[in-house]
Amino acid sequence: MTPVQVRRRLIIYVQGYDPRGLPEYFRMFRREYRRSCELYHLTGKIGGAEVARDAHYATWDVTTNGKDWTVDTRYRFLRWEDIVRKDFVRPAWWKILTMFYAMAGTIFSGTYARIFKASWRFALFIIYPLLLMIGWILLGAAVGALCLKLVATLGAPAFIAGMVGIVTGIGAFASMLWLTEPKTFLLYMCDDIFATYQFAHGRRPDWDERMDTFAGYVVDAVRDGDADEVVVVGHSSGSFLAVEVLDRALARDPALGRRGPLLRLLTIGANLPSIGFHRTAQEFRERIKRLALAPDLDWVDYQSRHDIMNFWPFDPVAGHGIVIGPGQSGPRVAAISFRSLWIPEGFNWRRWRFFRAHFQFLMANERLGAAYDYYLICCGPLDLVTRATHPDEAIGP
- The whole-number pLDDT of residue 355 equals 93
As annotated, the residues of the chain forming the CATH 3.40.50 domain(s) are 8-83+205-394
pLDDT at 396: 52
* DSSP letter for each residue of 278-324: STT-HHHHHHHHHHHH-TTEEEEEEE-TT-TTS-SS--TTGGGT---
Say what angle helices 186-200 and 81-88 make with each other, to 10 degrees. 120
Positions in the chain short of pLDDT 50: none
Backbone φ and ψ of 256, nearest 5°:
-60, 130
Could you report the per-residue pLDDT of 164-209, keeping only the tens digit for each?
Answer: 999 999 999 999 999 999 999 999 999 999 999 999 999 999 999 9
- Residue 40's pLDDT is 95
pLDDT of residue 2: 60
Task: Please tell me the pTM assigned to this model.
Answer: 0.95
Q: Is 55 left (phi over 0), alpha (psi -120 to 50) or beta?
A: left
pLDDT at 131: 98
Q: What is the CATH number of domain 8-83+205-394?
A: 3.40.50
The contacts of residue 160 (CB under 8 Å, 6+ apart) are 151
Instruction: State residue 393's pLDDT score.
Output: 82
pLDDT of residue 326: 78
- pLDDT attached to residue 26: 98
For residue 78, the model assigns a pLDDT of 98
